[in-house]
Amino acid sequence: MYEVPDQTGKTIVVTGANSGTGKEATARLAAAGAQVIMAVRTPAKGEAAKAEILARHPEAKLEVRRIDLADLASVGAFADELTAAGTPLDVLVNNAGVMAPPDRHTTADGFELQFGSNFLGPFALTMRLLPLLLRAERPRVATMSSGTANFGRINFGDPQWERRYSPNRSYAQSKLADLILSLRLAEVAEQRGWNLLSAAAHPGYTRTNLQTAGASLGREKPARGWLNNLGFLPSQAAEQGAEPLLYAAADPGARNGEYYGPTGRFGLVGPAGTATITRRARDRETNAELWALAERLTGTRLPA
């Protein structure tokens, strides 16, 4: 199991910290000495996860705060609270997400749910927190993408899937957008001389509630996601699935603009290592257009 380096004295925000890879990352970062702000949509679930982590690591420094990435007002309120406190932020871990709800849903701002929650919300949060991050000595932004980004395309003609919604293609688009966010931010950091590391990760095929929560959205009974029907594929628990994200967030060997994922069978399981970046995430024209679209839709932009 990957051992997280000493994080004593660091303040880290982890979105989606109450379950799956987010909870595992929170536990291990806190066990390594970090003060972790658990950014969750439902505070009661966050407090329950906090209690579980404290049972494992009694010395953990944890704080639960509410954020709904499907609501830009909530993102703004969360960022404003941290900014008012004035404490430098060492690491932002963009982990939370929703996967392949069978029907089209929208966010509080009218965005298609996956594009809004998985990409636009994290984009806005990153832009809003960059001033705090840049006050830290060695700040990082670690963003969770997915292996499905390899199959994604940015549908500029209908990015909100208003005409013909596809659960899986919409998810793949949102995770490709996350990867582009990470790569573009790394590029900006180099251009501006910021001491900021931006890296992305993917968990391979990790067994969490992500597969069932999205598939069950809007349904009276719990549903199985499409991945659950591929029983022949190798899979792993959250303990290992969180390791590429932990590497991106905390390891001294992580590099700006890199992408990390499992290195075992089919890239779905195994120890964390460098992952291949799809050529679609390196298209400069696409990346610039997506960035401009995200700025316009969220009303946020890079600090001057």
Q: What is the 3-state secondary structure (H, E, C) of the chain?
A: CCCCCCCCCCEEEEECCCCHHHHHHHHHHHHCCCEEEEEECCHHHHHHHHHHHHHHCCCCEEEEEECCCCCHHHHHHHHHHHHHHCCCCCEEEECCCCCCCCCCCECCCCCEHHHHHHHHHHHHHHHHHHHHHCCCCCCEEEEECCHHHHHCCCCCCCCCCCCCCCHHHHHHHHHHHHHHHHHHHHHHHHHHCCCCEEEEECCCCECCCHHHHHHHCCCCCCCCCHHHHCCCCCCECHHHHCHHHHHHHHCCCCCCCCEEEECCHHHCCCCEEECCCCHHHHCHHHHHHHHHHHHHHHCCCCCC
Place of tokens 């997915």: 146
Catalytic residue check, 171: yes
The per-residue pLDDT string of the chain (304 residues; one tens digit each, 9 = 90 and over) reads 899 999 999 999 999 999 999 999 999 999 999 999 999 999 999 999 999 999 999 999 999 999 999 999 999 999 999 999 988 999 999 999 999 999 999 999 999 999 999 999 999 999 999 999 999 999 999 999 999 999 999 999 999 999 999 999 999 999 999 999 999 999 999 999 999 999 999 999 999 877 555 454 554 555 555 455 556 699 999 999 999 999 999 999 999 999 999 999 988 999 999 999 999 999 999 999 999 999 999 999 999 8
User: What pLDDT score was predicted for residue 87?
Assistant: 86
Q: Report CA torsion sign: 43, 46, 50, 51.
A: positive
Question: What does the pLDDT read at residue 230?
Answer: 56
The torsion angles phi and psi of 38, rounded to 5 degrees, stand at: -85, 105
Residue 216 has a pLDDT of 45
Catalytic residue among 165, 171, 247, 260: 171
* Cα–Cα dist 105/96, whole Å: 17
Interhelix angle for 167-192 vs 284-298, to 10°? 100
In contact, 11 and 29? CB cutoff 8 Å: no
| pTM of the full structure | 0.93
Q: What are phi and psi of 199, to 5 degrees?
A: -140, 150
Task: Identify the pLDDT of residue 213.
Answer: 57
